[in-house]
Each structure stands twice: as C-alpha cells, then as structure tokens.
Amino acid sequence: RIPLLIDTDPGVDDALALLMAFNDPRHELVGLTIAAGNVGLEHTVRNALKLCEVCGVDAPVYAGAAAPLLHPSPDAGYVHGRDGFGDVGYDAPARAVEAEHAALAILRLSHEHAGKLLLVALGPLTNIALALKLDPTLPERVARFVVMGGAVTCRGNITPAAEFNIYFDPEAAHIVFEAFPHIDLADWEAVIAHGFLHDEVERWLQADSARARFYQRISEKTRLWSADRRGDHWHAADALAMAYALDPDGATEVLDRALAIELDGRHGRGATIVDWRGEGGEAARVSILMRYDQARFEGLIQAALAAI
Ligand code: BDR
Ligand code: CA
C-alpha cells in the first residue's frame, strides 16, 4: 500500500477528504499533520482527533503551526463554523495529540517512507515550509505531492485574486512551490467546476453509517451558508484534491505549467500566477488539474460516507 501523509486544517471539506482517505484500501495513512487555517490550531487539532475517533482510525495526529510564517491572517470560521466543524458541540475526543511537532513528523515520516510517500496538503502550507527550512532535502523523499490551493486564472475565493490556503500564508506557499520539483495542484477554479447539487449531497448523507451521521451534523452550517451564497451547488475543495491524490486516473485534463506565488501588491498578494503561454522561461513544474471525472469523484465521496 502507498504510504499517505496528510497535512490539513479541518475544516468541513478537509473532513470529507479525510473520510475518502480513511476509506481507500490502496493507501496506508501514516499520519495527519495539522496547521491553523480555517480556524485556530486548538480547533483544527481537536477536529482531526474527533474525526479519527468517530471513524475508528488510529493514525497519529501531530500539531504544527499556530500562525502563518510572517503576517497574521484572518481565518475562515464564517464558512466552517467558529470551531471549524459547524459548532455542533461534539463531545471532547478521548484521544490525545502526539508530542512531536508536525514539521518534525513530516521529516521523520519522509525518511521512514522515502521514495514512496504520497504527501497531500489541504490547508495553508506553513508546516511543510517549516519542514523544508529544517531540511531542504525533503522533496527528494516524497514520491508525489498533491496540493489544494490557488486560483489559476486569479479568480479567488478570499480576495478577488487569491484562494484561501495560499492567501493565509503566501510566504510558506512560496517556499513550498519553489522547493518541490513537481506539484500536482487542485485549485479553487477546478473546484468550482466540480460542484454537487445540494439535494444530491443530502441524499448521500442519509447513508446508514456513523460517518455519514457525523458528517451530516458538522457540514450542515456550511452547506446552508454555501446554498445562500453560491447557489445550487456545494463545493468541497479538499475532496477534489483528495480524489486527484487517491485516484489520479480520474483526471481527464491536466496542464503542466510554471507557477509563482505573488507576495506583494495591493490586490495580488497570495495570487498564483501561472505562465499559461509558457514564455516566461521557467520550467513547467506544476500539473494543474482542469477536469476530473465527475461520476468517479461522486462515487469516491458516496463510498466514503457510507463506509462503516
Ligand atoms: C480551501 O480553503 C479552506 O477553507 C478549505 O478547507 C480548502 O482547503 C479552499 O479555498
Ligand atoms: Ca482545508
């Protein structure tokens, strides 16, 4: 089985992506490293522990960065709930977080699974940037790196130009995108092209499983927010990245391009600038997911929710 390490900031769509990973027999989850992002670190860690508990998954959970590298950034509690899981007041998880810092765990696990590791980043890239600063050889040991982030034609979701994960910590994203020789990217614009009808999601959530029942509860608030703001379709960004990670054959269109992170600018901070014409002289090191088989994507989600 392929060793899988997920860096995440749960987060309602992170939770759906994690359910997909928990349900995949081809991958072995070796750890969850947690950052602040959607909400503060105390919540993202607690949410990860709780989700593992509900699902009977014993993968270790490591706490990492509580803030971006340089500049404080507002969270997304207005989307995911103040606690990141819809403020449903779930019972405290019985399990505890590991003592090791997430950045150190990433490095250790990269050695233990050198050349085989699938690394998936579903939140701001702070933990991975810290790991890279401690040991710049990290990319040599990662077999594949999948990132959810960016808005490749600058139609962002947090500013007009930028997507949340990159905007939250642009300096970290810059470090990470400069360091890895190759990144598979699921950006916000691909997410918008792969929404689900709200009624359909409701139907999936009726599955007779503890996972579906828990997910129904924690996602209700954000689905209502989304229906109000974004119309008929619900968009689960991290779930698309996870589909690309777990089942890359479902990708039907991928474009290889050079990509840079904008750090400055009054309007552009956190934007992902793609050299679409390929004339900038930089190597095309990012494989941008443009289209994924929608039926296959929905099948992965339904199966993850229905799993016992
Ligand atoms: C990304 O930002 C977060 O709010 C989601 O969890 C996802 O990772 C989408 O822009
Ligand atoms: Ca996320």
229, pLDDT greater than 90:
no
CA distance 83 to 62: 18
pLDDT tens string 155-207 = 999 999 999 999 999 999 999 999 999 999 999 999 999 999 999 999 999 99
pLDDT at 230: 81
Q: CA end-to-end span of the chain, whole Å?
A: 21
Within 6 Å (CB) of ligand 1, which residues are found? 11, 13-14, 38, 76, 79, 122-123, 148, 157, 163-165, 188, 237-238
26, pLDDT greater than 90:
yes
Q: Kindly state the average pLDDT of the residues 282-305.
A: 98
Ligand 1 atom with minimal separation from the 12 CA: 6
Q: What is the band of 67 on the pLDDT scale with cuts at 50, 70, 90? A: very high
265, pLDDT greater than 90:
no
* Catalytic residue selected from 182, 198, 233, 235: 235
Q: Kindly state the average pLDDT of the residues 276-287.
A: 96
Neighbours of 153 (CB within 10 A): 11
ipTM score of complex: 0.99
Q: What is the CA(92)–ligand 1 centre distance, in A?
A: 24
| 235 classed as catalytic | yes
Ligand 1 atom with minimal separation from the 8 CA: 8
Q: What is the band of 86 on the pLDDT scale with cuts at 50, 70, 90? A: very high
Question: DSSP alpha helices (H): ranges in 143-270?
Answer: 164-168, 170-179, 188-192, 198-204, 210-230, 237-246
**Could you say which DSSP state residue 270 is in?**
T
Give residues whose Cβ lies within 5 Å of ion ligand 2.
Answer: 9, 11, 14, 122-123, 238
Q: What is the CA(165)–ligand 1 centre distance, in A?
A: 6
